[in-house]
Structure 1
Amino acid sequence: MRDARQLIRITALLTALSLGLAACGGDDGEGDSGGDEPKSSASKKADPATWPLTGLPVNGGGSAEQDHPVLVLKLDNTEASAPQLGLSHADLVVEELVEGGITRLAAMYYSDIPGDVGPVRSMRASDIGIVAPVDGAMVTSGGAAQTVERIVDAGIRIFNEGSPGFYRESSRSAPYNLFTDMGKVAKAAEDGKDATPADYLPWGTEGDLPAGKPANTLTADFGSHATNWTFENGSYVNQNSYAADGDEFPADSVLVLRVDVGDAGYTDPAGNPVPETIFEGSGNAFLFHAGKVVEGTWSKDELSSALSLETKDGKLKVPAGRVWIELVPIDAKGGSLTYGK
């Protein structure tokens, strides 16, 4: 018992001494500041979650994880498709060449799932390099047998006519009358996975950008179709969009990548050779943001790799926001890029 009381007295004495030393240390004004002491990991505030297809923060700082994969809708991009539905809800859009020098859109949905979208059209082998980096699923009217086989071999899920949500719009003519309720597709695509897709682009801020050159207008020409953009009121406006009024894609940036194009190995019903965008390797890149253009290069080691961007001075980051990507064929394949002040 006496040993226990002695231990208590010793503990009290040591506590008093430590408090006294702490008080003395505070006299020079440094005792409560922590000086240069590193903070414990428990005191560090976690970085807010951001959406993988926009780089924008999740509202409320919650998780960017959804119950479904990235859904990539193949959208017709001709006058016959007007009005297109659902573009304003897309996180990111990729415009790609198809046969005859016209284009088709790969509209990506993840953070915001709309209702009716379309007209839904067929996929191409070019879509593998677009969809695979985020383990996305295709929402499409189908595709040629060769294309379907390659898409499946790449491990990409396909949702097409006959899947939940798909229907034919009686007021339109085929093949421009296939639509789907994206909410029903998202429900059918739930996979129970916990992983959030990888970032589609190397996200940053406007302050990360090099100075660039003035460029308030640009034209991405694919041969028989050209998409014209004008920088207005802080964003890029597609001057020849087929989207329904008020349903246009709100592009904060336009990223033009010059790509090589090969032959997919078959023809469409009209006898046109089907092109295949080679979305791996490297090429020239042009990032349009805030009325300026920054020139650099893009690279992808393989079709499933994330996109890397660089300038002569180092890595190029894309300001977080909604981005429209133009996969424009190199000059030898009939494509071109022009821009002006």
Structure 2
Amino acid sequence: MVEGAPPHFVPEPPLDTPAGSELPVRHRLHPSSSKAVVAALVAASLLLAGCGGGDDEETPAEAAPSEPTSSETTEAPPEPTYWPLTGLERTGNAPKHPVIVTKVDNTSSSAPQVGLGSADLVVEELVEGGYTRLAAFYYSKVPANIGPVRSMRASDIGIVPEGATVVTSGAAPVTINRIDGAGIPWITEGDAGVYRETSRSAPYNLFARLGEISKRLKVEEEPPAYLPWGTEADLPRGGKASTLTADFGAHSTSWQFQDGGYVNTDSYAAEGDRFPADSVLVLRVKVGDAGYRDPAGYPVPETKFEGKGAALLFHGGRVIRGTWTKDGLTGAIELSTKDGDLAVPAGHVWVELVPAVNGDLTFAK
């Protein structure tokens, strides 16, 4: 998920001498003796020249090496570094652990959700029955606990960034085979740091101690930027939009622009632990069949997060329409408008992967 050369000595320059002024003189010759002195000097120089030992040319003295100027020795300031999941500038070293993506239940049975307030970024995806599940991303900050933890889907292959580890309650065998085939490491019940909260009912009582888990996960390279980051000044003007609702079928998520950010008005998170969204990014996606049914008999959908689709970026009480593209399931997310590339202002972003068919998005001024 990372902190000089000794001061350079520059000799003082010689004092400037005003035009027409005299340099300090230790002794002045009397005017009457000046001609005699000049004649004596000339005679001495001729005598010395006659005593020379050959025709060798006089070698000029080597010029002393010039001292580099302060502008040449001043080191350029280091390039700033940024958090990959928020685009915000980072001070200090990067974490030694990878991005940790935790699958979190998003039904009323999950209330209160724990740990969402510490997430860098959240992706909401469709699951069976028209409900949704959250993929909460942690890197710059890791909460002590997170939950309720639920299962993975094949959709996660297109959501989880390269090098990340997933914390999950497990998955159907066909999904586990695909997740393993994609090279995504995961942690589940039975691993250290994953536990059952006895005050809740199963299956909504599985939690994870992310602080503990992160200490045993190691990473060699920093993750790449998850979104194309920029600043608010980079955004096109767009249109006004202070409220929006992403409808997945049986579940919808609503947002309201308040005090410079977006508040999830139907959140299941604990009070004071809600995700602090600076922007909401809605991406319309294709959805297919994962090829099996859940225990209740519902067909399991699979979000096809690749190719391209419509994108709507909500920021600052406005909406900018554009297009998203992604080269394969593991490709980078790119955004654009008809006028060029679109960058997301650095901050905490909630991404809504709304089905292009059987899903809906509404917003108002």
TM-score range for the pair, normalised by the shorter chain length:
0.7 to 0.9
What is the identity, as a one-letter code, of the residue corresponding to 1:62? Answer: G
Matches within 5 A, 1:1-341: 10-11=61-62, 14-15=63-64, 43-58=75-90, 61-63=91-93, 65-131=94-160, 133-191=161-219, 193=220, 195-330=221-356, 332=357, 334-341=358-365
Alpha-carbon offset, residue 216 of structure 1: 0.3
Post-superposition CA distance 1:136-170 (Å, at most 9, x none)? 11100000001011101101001000111111111
Distance 1:151 1:107 in 2: 17
Distance 1:53 1:181 in 2: 21
Measure, in 2, the Cα distance between the counterparts of 1:184 and 1:120: 16
| CA deviation string 1:263-322 (max 9, x = no partner) | 000000000000000000000000000000000000101111110000000000000000
Bigger fraction of residues in helix: 1
Q: Which digits, 9 at most, give the CA deviation of each residue in 1:73-115, with x for residues without a partner?
A: 0000000000000001000000000000000000000010110
Question: What TM-score does the superposition give when structure 1 sets the normalisation length?
Answer: 0.87
SS at match of 1:80: helix
- CA distance in 1 between partners of 2:77 and 2:211 (Å): 34
Aligned-partner SS, 1:123: coil
Amino acid at match of 1:85: V
Q: CA separation of 1:157/1:33 partners in 2, compared to 1, >3 Å: closer, same or farther?
A: closer
Shift in CA distance, 84/44, structure 1 to aligned 2, threshold 3 Å: same
Amino acid at match of 2:360: S
User: 1:28: which partner in 2?
Assistant: none
Runs of 5+ unmatched residues, structure 1: 1-5, 20-31
Q: Distance in 1 between matches of 2:269 and 2:363?
A: 23
Deviation at 1:135, TM superposition (A): 2.1
Query: Hey, what's the Cα distance between the residues in 1 that align with 2:177 and 2:139?
Result: 25
Paired AA for residue 227 in structure 2: L
Structure-2 separation of matches of 1:277 and 1:44: 46
Q: Is contact 1:91–1:111 with CA below 8 Å preserved after alignment?
A: yes
Question: Structure 2 regions of 5+ residues with no counterpart?
Answer: 1-57
Taking only the aligned residue pairs, the percentage that are identical comes to 60
SS at match of 2:226: coil
Q: Which residue identity does 2:171 align to in structure 1?
A: G
Q: Deviations over 1:41-82 (max 9, x none)?
A: x73322211100000111xx323x221111000000000000
* 8 Å Cα contact 1:96-1:105 kept in structure 2: yes
Tell me, yes or no, if the aligned pair for 1:159 and 1:185 is still in contact at 8 Å: no
Is the 8 Å Cα contact of residues 261 and 276 (structure 1) preserved in structure 2?
yes
**Post-superposition offset of 1:33:** 11
Partner of 2:215, secondary structure, is: helix
SS of equivalent residue, structure 1 residue 117 = coil
Offset at residue 15 of structure 1 (A): 4.2
Corresponding residue pairs, total: 308
Q: Which amino acid in structure 1 is aligned with residue 175 of structure 2?
A: T
